[in-house]
Amino acid sequence: MDRTLLDKPIVLIGFMGTGKSTVCRLLAERLGWSWKDTDEEIERREGRSIPDIFAESGEPAFRAIETQVLADLLDTPKIVLATGGGAVLAEANRQAMLEKGYVVALKAEREQIVSRVRNDPNRPLLQGDVEGNVARLLAARQNAYDFAHLTVDTTRLSAEAVVERIAAARLEAAGNAP
């Protein structure tokens, strides 16, 4: 059994609206671990909202901050991390996640994503034509999450069911099947 896998951070990746933040909190609670949402941590460290960071400093500045926050949090044992949907765009982030964590990609059907994010003002990349922007970004990021150790489609699952799938797959990967 690979005990080191059982202590590694669990890193949730996926497009916005796939359930990363909700699953993060529930999974951490189930495991008795701490949790962090990288977007919330960025806002805390910067003292401003993500839409403000985008508006005032631009997406490249936001991505640089995101990379630093992710690197810092990946050094924390027994933590569940919910990453922003674009955190996987940087090769350095993907490598760090794979090296230091157990990476779980959450995905969902486009219609489900649109219904989940349609009225969220904190999504600067979706402002305006939400449906069109979701479709465009999903197409651009079509294979961006393929590097994960595990992929779970959240479209028709409760958050609790997603947590159970992740917990079981992690134990199985560590050689300690439930």
The answer to whether the annotation marks 175 as part of a ligand binding site is no
The answer to whether the annotation marks 141 as part of a ligand binding site is yes
List the beta bridge partners of residue 153: 107
The answer to whether the annotation marks 32 as part of a ligand binding site is no
The answer to whether the annotation marks 110 as part of a ligand binding site is no
Q: What is the DSSP string of 82-149?
A: EPPTTGGGSHHHHHHHHHHSEEEEEE--HHHHHHHHTT-TT-GGGSS-HHHHHHHHHHHTTTTTTT-S
The answer to whether the annotation marks 22 as part of a ligand binding site is yes
Run of H or E residues at 152: strand 150-153
The answer to whether the annotation marks 18 as part of a ligand binding site is yes
The single-letter DSSP state of residue 155 is T
Under 8 Å CB-to-CB from 16, ≥6 apart: which residues?
A: 84, 85, 113, 117, 123, 125, 126
The answer to whether the annotation marks 8 as part of a ligand binding site is no
The answer to whether the annotation marks 67 as part of a ligand binding site is no
CA distance linking residue 118 with residue 122, whole number of Å: 11
The answer to whether the annotation marks 63 as part of a ligand binding site is yes
**In what side-by-side order are the strands of the sheet with 150-153?**
34-37, 79-82, 10-14, 102-107, 150-153
Instruction: Please report, in range form, the residues annotated as the binding site.
Output: 17-22, 39, 63, 85, 123, 141
Instruction: Please report, in range form, the residues annotated as the binding site for ATP.
Output: 17-22, 123
Instruction: Please report, in range form, the residues annotated as the binding site for Mg(2+).
Output: 21
Instruction: Please report, in range form, the residues annotated as the binding site for substrate.
Output: 39, 63, 85, 141
